[in-house]
Structures are given as C-alpha cells and as structure tokens.
Amino acid sequence: MFGEKKKTTQEVKWIVTFADLITLLFCFFVYLSLFNKPQVDLKTGFFVNEETTKSLTGRLPENVVSALDSMKGEFFEIRGPFEARLEKLIGQKNTSLYKTPILIESIAEGKVDESAGVMKVELIINEKVEADLRIPLFFAGNARRGPVDPELCTEDGLTSNPEEIQEFDYITGTEVAMIPEGEQISFFPICLINDELYEEPEEIMVQIGKLRGDVERGNFVTRSIYIQDDEPMPSVSFEIERRDIFKGISNVTASISPISGVRTEIPLRVAGTAKENMDFQFREGATIMIFPYTEKGTVELEIIQDDIPMYATRTLVVQMDDDSIRGAEVGGISRQINTIIGAQEMKDCSGINRFLREN
C-alpha cells in the first residue's frame, strides 16, 4: 500500500512538471513574439556576380561560396525563387544559416531609362498590417532631386513638364509611403525628368527611415536605382581649322555640340616641324576640359620663338587623340594646323642656320 502511494506521488510530480514545461514554452514563444516584429523591406531583385562571391569569401564556408558560381549572371526578380535555388545548391540547413548575408550581397542595382517617365518603387511587409502604416523615405545619390510635389508627380508620371524642374533629374510625390490596412505591398512613384542632355548614369539611393510602432526595418532598406541616359553622345570640334600664330599666348579652343551634362576631356597630340619646349609649350597640360553645361573649353599655347628669325615659319599640327576622348566623340574638325611665324630680328646667322638645318 505504501508502494502504491509512492507511485501516485511520482506520477503527480511528473504531470506537474510537464504542465510547467508547456507553460514555459508558451511564455517563451510569447516573449519571442515581442521581438519578432513585422519587417518592412524595399522590393529588389537579386544578381550574383564576381563582386558577390569576392565579398563573401572568408565570411562563409568555401563550399557555400563556390556553389554560387553556377548562379552568376542569372537575375532573380523576387526573393522566393532566389532562396529556392539556394536550397538546391547548398541545402536547406546552409540556406537557413547563410541566406541573409548572401541575399544582402546579391542585391541587384535597379536601372531605369530616362525616357521611361516614371518608376514605381515597391515596399513589402512580411505580415499584413492592422492599420495604415506610414513609412518615411530618404533619398541620396548623385542624381539631382527636385521638389516634392504630389500633384506634379503621380503614379502615371509627370502631369506637366515646367521649365523650373529642368535642372533636376527626378522629383517625388511624397517623402512618406503608405502600406494600407490589410495589405502587404505598396509602392510610391519616382518621376524622371528627360532634360535631353547627354549624361552619365546617375544614382538615386532610396532608404527606409526609422519606423514607429510594432514594425521594424528589414534587411533590405536601401536600394540604388540608376537612371540610364538615352541621348546620343555629343561631338567635339576645334573652332579654327587653320591659322597663323606669333610669339606670345594663343588659345586652342574646342566646342561641344550639343551641350553635355558630363565633363568632357580631350587629350591632344602634336605633329609638324615645331619642337615642343623649344618653339612652343602647353602652359597647363595638353588636355582640353569642357565642363558640364558649358559650350567650349580652352588650353593655352605659348609660342616661345627664342631664336626663330623673322619670316621663318614652323608648322604645329594639334590633333585630338580620338581613342582617349572621354564624354564625347570626334566631330567635324579634329585637326588644327598652326603656322608659327618667326618674328625675331636676326643679329647673327644662328637663327637662320638653325632654320635651314631643320627645314
């Protein structure tokens, strides 16, 4: 009888212990739920390239990084197929362990043509919201942002194209996006301004700001979008094709057409009978710079003529280095022929002797 009592006591203790365990587990998951808030991300694509594997080398196991080679060059528009492909390559366990750094390093740069007019940037939350969620937005990058104007910039693009916004690359209709109650996806428009100027790709960096309430920022809160210019490259040309020059300073000037939004560099080559540093020299280098939104650029050419006799001539051919020009292509006049006219009075025969020897 005493043995039976003892057995009953042990069973009661076991039942109480199991109930406590259930309670503890419940409390633990409630505790975790306090920290696992819904997360907001910017929708982005994923693309594995050489930079991706290079940045992950040393941070992740070698076999995981090497497995990514088969994904190089393949673009994934959304996260789901990318993760599914990872699971096939590195297994479910490795995917759960390493997917976050792989995803972050594989974020694809967004691209949009300037002529597209508008780009819709999507926001995603991993759980439906119970009330309208306001998401502050920040913008950076080298693209020039104009004023915030919800009437001018709509989801269909610009409602008009006034002259005062032509100096900018884009404008927005808001700085606070909204995910409506019960939804998981929303978007906001970025309106592009086609200024008809040749420009290099310009970056719009979009970032989700600090969130309030029972939501938090996810892993993908920053996205770079590059505006791709679609105007033809401008051409550069010397203003003067042939001229006579004398002792002193002469300008070598090139013009650009149409005006460009990027800095243009035109390296120069020389030929002819004139000798550099003896008959002439470029005072500040032999490269013409044409700065953005300007029509022309100039370098100074100093004619030395220390011992060139009067009426003696030298030929100086200044030519654009076609293969080294940046920001433009060669236009009509790429060679300028300069005839240096001697103006030195002869006090002896040294000057004329040199002239006769070299010619």
The DSSP string of 24-90 is HHHHHHHHHHHH---EEEE---EEB-HHHHHHHBTTB-HHHHHHGGGGBT-EESSHHHHHHHHHHHH
**120 and 224 share a domain?**
yes
- Residue 278 pLDDT > 60, yes or no? yes
Domain endpoint, select from 60, 88, 108: 108
- Domain assignment of residue 288, given as a range: 235-358
Helix (H, G, I), strand (E, B) or coil at 292: coil
| Residue 243 exposed, middle or buried by CB count within 10 Å (0-12, 13-18, 19+) | exposed
| Number of structural domains the chain divides into | 3
Per-residue pLDDT tens over the stretch 216-248? 888 889 999 999 988 889 999 999 999 998 888
**Domain for residue 338, yes or no?**
yes
Cα separation, 242 vs 233, in Å, equals 26
Q: How many helices (H) and strands (E) does the chain have?
A: 5, 25
pLDDT tens readout for residues 247-275: 889 999 999 999 998 999 999 999 999 88
Distance, CA of 353 to CA of 359 (rounded, Å): 10
In the three-class reduction of DSSP (H, G, I as helix; E, B as strand; rest coil), residue 277 is classed as coil
Q: What CATH number does the domain containing 223 carry?
A: 2.60.40.2030
Is 218 buried (19+), middle (13-18) or exposed (0-12) by CB count in 10 A?
middle
Which backbone phi and psi does 344 adopt, to 5 degrees?
-85, 125
* Mean predicted confidence (pLDDT) in 299-311: 74
Distance, CA of 296 to CA of 264 (rounded, Å): 10
Residues 245 and 342 in one domain: yes
SS3 of 139, please?
Answer: strand
- With a cut of 90, say whether residue 291 has pLDDT above it: yes
Q: Is residue 250 part of a domain?
A: yes
Task: Judge whether residue 308 has pLDDT over 90.
Answer: no
pLDDT of 170 reads 95
Instruction: Tell whether 75 and 178 lie within a shared domain.
Output: no
The pLDDT > 90 percentage for the chain reads: 42
Contact 298, 236 (CB under 8 A): no
d(CA 2, CA 279): 124
